Structure 1
Amino acid sequence: MSNLETEPAEIVCDTRTSTGADVVILQPRDVPLGGPRAMDVRRTLPQRERSLIGAWCFVDHYGPDDVSVTGGMVVPPHPHTGLQTASWLFAGEVEHRDSVGSLALVRPGELNLMTAGAGISHSEVSTPATTTLHGVQLWIALPELTRHQAPRFENHVIRPILRNGVTLHVFLGTLAGQTAAASGDTPLLGAQIDLPAGSSLDLDVEASFEHGVLVDTGTVRCAGAIVAQNDLGFVDAGRSVIRLENAGDGPARVVLLGGEPLGEQIVMWWNFIGRSHDEVAAARAQWQAEVIAGTDTAGRFGQVAYHGAALPAPVLPNVRLKPRR
């Protein structure tokens, strides 16, 4: 998914020291995806309080969205550098096309993982059969060692497992004895966890990982703290067990994200991740010349088989913004 903000902030992110709190609650802000009816997403990462959870650097949460009202998801071709996108749906269906020739559907229970590396472009459009759209779009910052790799795309069907009456879909990393087929370029964890009313689960996790618990449905007690619907609870590194409890009357669903601290400073602006303002500015200029103006034939971002025009990049800020801490 693209970041469609018309004035996106340049964010310099680095590894932060311990928060000193057991669980820090991060609340989302609403961001319109664009278009005349503008489907909104709820963005909980990045924000001033925290920019990264492991290498997870971007969390958009959307729906349940009535596409007859909003028009659904219509995101024309746009570029990415230096990251992976992890698409995970609870309901609906999205068609993905990219410049390495992929044509795939994003469906519930399936992970679509796109590695941008040095550069890729893609489009995302909800299908005509979709009446309700509901899911998360996640970005993973690539480390210095692999961020210039060739782009690629992969799809994985995730088989659910049952532990103590709780259903888990482990789509990245290892949890509850299940290891996902997909892997990140840094140690990561990603899982959907469905907790019936009255249920709880103690999860053995890597003590070196930072974790985030995004509550999609219901209310959850995480490591003793209440995390409300649409909020994200951040759990600092140092825990080897995280206890999740359904704190409401009905079912609850969360997305658990984790990873070792990236340990590198990154600069995020629009759909690019680099290491400096100048690097991001150069990627923007190449996208504008190669795809939007059609005057640069270097082919860094390639072409997407799409029926309409690609998204032009917003204008860069006139000054370098201060790092967020």
Structure 2
Amino acid sequence: MSAPTSGPVLELLPGREVPLGGVRGTSVTRWLPQRTLPTVGAWCFLDRIGPQRVDMRVLPHPHTGLQTVTWPLAGEVHHRDSLGTDVLLRPGELNLMTSGRGICHSELSVGHRPLLHALQLWVALPASRAAGAPGFEQHRDLPVLEAPGARATVVVGALGDVASPASVHTPLLGADVAVDAGASAVLPLRPDFEHAVLVLDGAAQVAGADLAGGPLLHLGTGRDELVVRSPGGARLLLLGGEPFGEDLVMWWNFVGRDHDEVARARAEWEEAGQTRFGTVPGHGDERIPAPGLPSVRLTPRRRRPAPAGADVGAGADGGAPAPAMS
């Protein structure tokens, strides 16, 4: 079980460049999971693709035990899945796909070598929902928390008294925050949540720590507000949630509770004529095959004590093959 954080911290965690499975010549920057921090609340995966010009073609691939959160910053993405969903996703809109016991989908960029810049996140489903039915939601009009000097689009969960319509299964927060140049903004937080902040554009002072693009700032628990200052203006991703206490085994595109559960999902994806994940219309037999399992049993990702010091630089965990784009 991953030990919850206790009290506020200021922990800088660098991202690392990894190849994006199924997309030739494309890499992403990954901040979650980390060796010392596998989750922030139920957030268990955080990637950013771009900004870069790329013909993204992610063929059908499976997921279990999670929700995918796709938040484009530039460019459009064509999403199709085994539920029959066929939608375009644009900046300012949210795709939320719940895998439950199994789903598969594809994602393609729109146009020839468009500028693509997007955040891809996973939310671990609690055991009570992990084996449930799959689902898909798209939200095009998300609520905004207005604070002096800042505006926060609430993508999932709730910030203060502003709540997203997106369905979540644990107490959670994901917000895209724009801070005005020269402003000092105060955002409300839940002290029982742990939080983390990533600068998407510009630079800011967050909870007294200077933060520019690059590291993820883990804030721990026990904070009821967050003070953000930015001389030149900034855009931030604010994540939070109730510390997630369940064991998780994450491998390729699967989230499970133990090795056998993940191995079974892989075997069923590779099975001829499989029915667990369904098929994505319009792709025929096209699909991304699963990589081979390691020679040792997969074990849960568990939180490790951070090294002593103000700025912690534990690299992201690279033990599993790169997932296809969420």
TM-score (norm 2): 0.87
Superposed displacement of residue 162, structure 1: 3.2
The amino acid of 2:237's aligned partner reads V
1:44-84 deviation per Cα after TM superposition (whole angstroms, max 9, x unaligned): 000112100000000001221123xxx3x211000000000
Counterpart CA distance in 2 for 1:36 and 1:149 is: 30
Runs of 5+ unmatched residues, structure 1 = 1-13
**Alignment partner of 2:237 out of 242, 247, 255:** 255
| Matched-pair contact (CA < 8 Å) for 2:6–2:221 | no
Runs of 5+ unmatched residues, structure 2 = 305-326
- Which shifted more, 168-177 or 97-106? 168-177
- Which shifted more, 183-192 or 156-165? 156-165
The amino acid of 2:220's aligned partner reads D
1:76 aligns with 2:68: no
The amino acid of 2:49's aligned partner reads Y
Superposed displacement of residue 235, structure 1: 1.1
Percent identity reads 51
1:300 aligns with 2:295: no
Superposed displacement of residue 179, structure 1: 1.2
Runs of 4 or more, structure 1, over 6 Å off, are: none
Could you say if the C-alpha distance between residues 179 and 321 of structure 1 is closer, same or farther in structure 2, counting changes exceeding 3 Å?
closer
1:276 aligns with 2:263: no
1:313 aligns with 2:290: yes
* Structure 1 match to 2:207: 223
Alignment of 1:24-63 (within 5 A): 24-34=11-21, 37-63=24-50
Give SS of 2:129's match. Answer: coil
| Matched-pair contact (CA < 8 Å) for 1:112–1:156 | yes
Give SS of 1:146's match. Answer: helix
1:88 aligns with 2:68: no
The amino acid of 1:319's aligned partner reads V
The amino acid of 2:255's aligned partner reads I
Could you say if the C-alpha distance between residues 26 and 104 of structure 1 is closer, same or farther in structure 2, counting changes exceeding 3 Å?
same
Counterpart CA distance in 2 for 1:36 and 1:172 is: 27
Give SS of 1:145's match. Answer: helix
Counterpart CA distance in 1 for 2:289 and 2:112 is: 29
Could you say if the C-alpha distance between residues 206 and 42 of structure 1 is closer, same or farther in structure 2, counting changes exceeding 3 Å?
same
1:111 aligns with 2:94: yes
Alignment of 1:110-129 (within 5 A): 110-128=93-111
Could you say if the C-alpha distance between residues 221 and 19 of structure 1 is closer, same or farther in structure 2, counting changes exceeding 3 Å?
farther
Counterpart CA distance in 1 for 2:184 and 2:295 is: 50
The amino acid of 1:51's aligned partner reads P
